[in-house]
Structure 1
């Protein structure tokens, strides 16, 4: 019994463009992010799938809503699909975070999975919630394809989990806005199938030429 998950990162936000740490704070999609969301929608309009889920944060819901407008699915929100809560670092650029909260930012940047950002959470806490969510969705949609709109940090954690890459190791991979990532859930085990596919964004580049 295998559930195929198409895990999407939301489109670019205004804060992504500015390099601000978002966490649980909301930033709307930029003009480019809206175009990216529409490119995802156009691709998914040609691919049958059973259900559409999203993090409950605005940037993910905004992306999922543009997909739903093309595919006719209802957007089902789940807070377990959120980005990691970054507490006192939220809303700051990395430079600002290093200046205002040097010890906190240094500990966060080291990447240890169990480090809890003050007023936030650890990467392992967020990963556990996401894995529980995917297991629940797999039980709800056995032998089906399910689309999920989520966040870069969470996708990174899922990839590290599947490939057994230490959380504190350097990130030698990209997590692109509007990236398409397939993970299969089979007998309770999550397996990465496709990572970082942005072929649907090529049309946007052609439009700009």
Structure 2
């Protein structure tokens, strides 16, 4: 039986808007983020899909997004701390330019593809293992159902990497994952398939803050 997972990134925060690393910092949605969450909820309420359950990171930017979505879907979200963003340690609150000035060697190693701890916090592998473990358990427990998982850019990318691990030409590590975007992963008998990725149709042409876990932005442009 297929379990369909709708991976939803939280709405925008002020730190997203200014290009600051968040990690475990419990930053709330800003006005734009709440508007994005409402538009997501309107889309789900009018066009579907119908969810059997909603699970969310317990960080408030994800939880508030999930709560707004839950009102439209008539489902209370369930907290799942394993869906938290990667811990970026001392980088939390810094822009990429500030990180490069303070910890340029580590930043360069990460940009070259090496997996080292961000700001003394976590490596991507430290994020990947608990996220994938939790998602595998949900897929098994809720076989045949459709689940909304409200999380962060890092966890979305971890699930994508897991689902794409045996597929040629698919490398989601540097994909942009937009605020309130919907990405679909389908699990059936332990086999994974990918559906639409980073679907932001409900936002139309609205500007998007940068996803700090994707390829680094040009510092001359709006992050």
The TM-score bracket by the shorter chain reads 0.7 to 0.9
- Give the aligned partner of residue 61 of structure 2: 59
List per-residue Cα deviations over 1:45-104 (Å, max 9, x = no partner).
242210000011111001001111222211111111111111121110001111122222
- Give the aligned partner of residue 84 of structure 1: 86
**Of the candidates 188, 191, 194, which is equivalent to residue 189 of structure 1?**
191
Taking the aligned partners of 1:192 and 1:123, their CA distance within structure 2 comes to: 21
The 3-state SS of whatever aligns with 1:196 is: coil
**Number of matched pairs:** 201
When residues 111 and 12 of structure 1 are mapped into structure 2, their CA distance, relative to the original with a 3 A threshold, is farther
TM-score by length of 1: 0.88
Q: Give the RMSD, CA atoms, in angstroms.
A: 2.0
- Give the aligned partner of residue 119 of structure 1: 120
Contact 1:89 1:105 survives alignment (8 Å): no
Q: CA deviation at 1:174?
A: 2.2
Taking the aligned partners of 1:134 and 1:67, their CA distance within structure 2 comes to: 20
Uncovered stretches (5+) of structure 2, i.e. residues with no partner: 208-223
Taking the aligned partners of 2:103 and 2:45, their CA distance within structure 1 comes to: 45
Indicate whether 1:103 and 2:116 are aligned.
no
